[in-house]
Structure 1
């Protein structure tokens, strides 16, 4: 039977007559009058206390009208109270669900803010106890040179490489300016952009592999290089499309009225795009009217705090667990499972802090400083019921880039939808592998395999969602495979491979 919120029909007319009065709740004044000691049922002291000091006949008349209305309201309210909550009035009028029923929870029909606050309080209390217990047992494990030490000076080639990445956007701008002025042909423009983008990603890889740098420095440079590469591809692809549309307009072709294609290659728009929190180029962006300086300061404080929390968890919890573990594929199976499960909780905390720091705090700070209007850097990916939904919602800048410059171009080229999705996962897997394997100087394809393993997970979670459409089975399956099993396993695999590589280097 379908659950409806509509009241059931009442056939007894006498009950309807009695309950018609109850449709109007007593107002605030009526309730106050009800519990006022000076109020009487018949309202004998109606206007004497209200009209005491009048200066004109008009004011006296107005006060008398107010007093009369007040007296009438009191009489009506007393009459309403006489018929309220009588034994003959129906107490059950509609079909309703309990607040904790699955319909109210998953359909968001009932607020559970109080339970959420309780979970936060319990989480803080439990983890505070664990932190105190860890400090009492192992002491302070964070090293003095955690943030900066003399060894950090070895990373100066990576820092210089990071600064020199600005050359590639400048080269792309020069190429586009020459193309706008029609000084070079379209095939030459495409060839030059291929050379620029390829060099922009290969140059940092060469510098990292030739340097004995820290892992964090290498990851930072690779992430920046990948961002520059994605932005350059979008810049070249968008301008290529704008030129094609401009040529169509010059030939007299009619375009949809809601499309605006201003083809203007300017250094200002290119510079803004390279620093803006987006990977998709367009000549103009929605802008906010002003910068909220106080808001920016508060977000910076949060960024510093949560970055410190990440460092504390890594040094105090993750490093000891990883160092006291064995290679997952070379030791005892039960021992490997125990290590993975023990590592899953602190790893999950670090991953959530990383997401909050980068996608919420840092990107919003950057957007506020640049007055960048579109702040949809993520969606509610934590409610994703399939792996496919998760990848569409957790990283919106990359998702929009994939849709705009990879997925739909593949479809327009006649590539089937399934093959286009597979190509998108291949590109994502390749960049994940570069960002981790290059700083580690290890090419075991663990990150690549982890991303490609998402393809069968997409099929599995889609099947679970179709079979159990009213349950969160796919969401639980996603959390388990992605955060409880997948990420801790990758951490252990790369750590032990890195340790084996350093041991071989020391022996040689």
Structure 2
């Protein structure tokens, strides 16, 4: 799941200001003196002793200005070879020679769009002849209670970040008092007392941070599951609660280690150079917290790389893209996905396997287009617009996941904010404490599986374990496709990339959508009032 470079990074103590961290073996010097035969003092012998240092949650993963892969910047180039494999899988009959020429001209995405329209034009006409126009703005059951409760949750959940700020502010004041007392009394007993005080402060802070995080996530999940009927509103509320919970955890862990580095300055507690402009506890301010709350990242740093100015034309373009793609997703869902889902209910009820597979294949193209549009809308358009307004410099919200030759490569590249959080605060600390990379990766996927089930099952009021099982099923697929990453022959990478597209986008997503829709129908009936 993780490359060798990342595994070696994981045991590092601190960050040097890039994605890499320092070696986990810090070298300490021990000075000893010897006496000669004449009683004179001999030379000082310096012995180097390797000491394993504890991993610290302060790695500066955002250390330089970077652009998104699909952004048109002078120094940004992207390869779209993975979409070629997708076209062959989805379209089947395609002129590969024309595709190769399109690739050389850098028009892969446009070719994919026009080829998709041409190959699916029959399905579009068939859908219109069979169902007519299904798009209806007033045909959705947005209850007043859903809107009111959703708005209240959206307004109140961010206050949990403010509570975490108060916890850290109290801890920082206590740390400053310890530093002041140490200057007056630098005895060994005082140092030991300071260590006990630090540990007590951390345990108290950790306790209150845990309560704060659990309340943020627990109260939101309870209200969404029992009182917000519409899954769309519920998903937005649950997603916000998860994001805030991630940020609280990162804020707490990072400041804990920054506080320890201030109280115990040493070679092992050296901090990334980028943090020098805002040392602890100067970063414990309301403005610093608000910036982290709004910033398109889940990893807290006292300082982030910043762009020089705001390009408002860039912001307008990205917001226009986001609006258009949101409307496009809604149209596809209402006109094409909804009929396929409804017509699948009776097939699933009688376990007609052949018909279910046919529905999965029919839904796969629609869900794939919706998923690609959703990815572009969120990670390219919305996050880049937000980053531009905040002058957030590191725009690498994703890398070229479409070219992934293994499932592990995909999970490392498609959602970088979550990946960096898991790497910094879950995977790397576990490896640094002696866990094997395989065991740490398993823990990461267990946590991800639980969070995926919460994000899907709670808003749909059906905790049936499909999302949980789907995430765990990624582990054997990662093990199977991992060797393909190391094959130098291009055919190996093509095979791995094809396995990724088929397993994740053409089978996993539509099957999951069918099962959750069936569970919803069995419990409540359709969200839409329209009968097809």
TM-score with structure 1 setting the length: 0.73
Partner of 1:499: 521
In structure 2, how many angstroms separate the alpha carbons of the residues matched to 1:442 and 1:150?
Answer: 19
Partner of 2:185: none
In structure 2, how many angstroms separate the alpha carbons of the residues matched to 1:369 and 1:403?
Answer: 27
Question: Structure 2 matches for 1:453-472, cutoff 5 A?
Answer: 453-466=473-486, 469-471=489-491, 472=494
Q: Deviations over 1:286-318 (max 9, x none)?
A: 111211112211222111111111011101111
Question: CA, structure 1 residues 191+463, in 2 after alignment: closer, same or farther (shift >3 Å)?
Answer: same
Q: Deviations over 1:300-355 (max 9, x none)?
A: 21111111110111011111001001354842221111010001000101000110
Partner of 1:231: 247
Q: 1:182 aligns with which of 166, 169, 174?
A: 174
1:153 Cα deviation after fit: 4.6
In structure 1, how many angstroms separate the alpha carbons of the residues matched to 2:449 and 2:224?
Answer: 20
3-state SS of 2:322 partner:
helix
Question: CA, structure 1 residues 153+385, in 2 after alignment: closer, same or farther (shift >3 Å)?
Answer: same
1:200 Cα deviation after fit: 1.1
1:467 Cα deviation after fit: 6.3
Is 2:128 aligned against 1:135? yes
Partner of 2:82: none
Partner of 1:65: none
Is 2:357 aligned against 1:337? yes
Structure exhibiting the larger radius of gyration computed from Cα positions: 1
In 2, are the aligned partners of 1:155 and 1:213 still within 8 Å (CA)? no
Question: Structure 2 matches for 1:10-409, cutoff 5 A?
Answer: 111-113=104-106, 117-127=110-120, 130-145=123-138, 151-182=143-174, 185-249=201-265, 255=270, 258=273, 260=275, 262-263=279-280, 264=282, 265-326=284-345, 328=348, 330-409=350-429
Question: Structure 2 matches for 1:406-421, cutoff 5 A?
Answer: 406-421=426-441
1:279 Cα deviation after fit: 0.4
| Aligned alpha-carbon RMSD (Å) | 2.6
- Structure of greater relative contact order (alpha carbons < 8 Å, 6+ residues apart): 2
1:132 Cα deviation after fit: 4.3
Q: Deviations over 1:176-225 (max 9, x none)?
A: 00000118822211111111111111010111123042010011101100
Is 2:503 aligned against 1:481? yes
Partner of 1:441: 461
1:469 Cα deviation after fit: 4.3
3-state SS of 1:185 partner:
helix
In structure 2, how many angstroms separate the alpha carbons of the residues matched to 1:126 and 1:254?
Answer: 59
In 1, are the aligned partners of 2:275 and 2:303 still within 8 Å (CA)? no
> May I ask how many residue pairs the two structures share in their alignment?
398
Question: CA, structure 1 residues 500+309, in 2 after alignment: closer, same or farther (shift >3 Å)?
Answer: same
In 2, are the aligned partners of 1:386 and 1:461 still within 8 Å (CA)? yes
Q: Deviations over 1:203-249 (max 9, x none)?
A: 10111123042010011101100000000000000001101111221
In 2, are the aligned partners of 1:328 and 1:489 still within 8 Å (CA)? no
Question: CA, structure 1 residues 283+324, in 2 after alignment: closer, same or farther (shift >3 Å)?
Answer: same
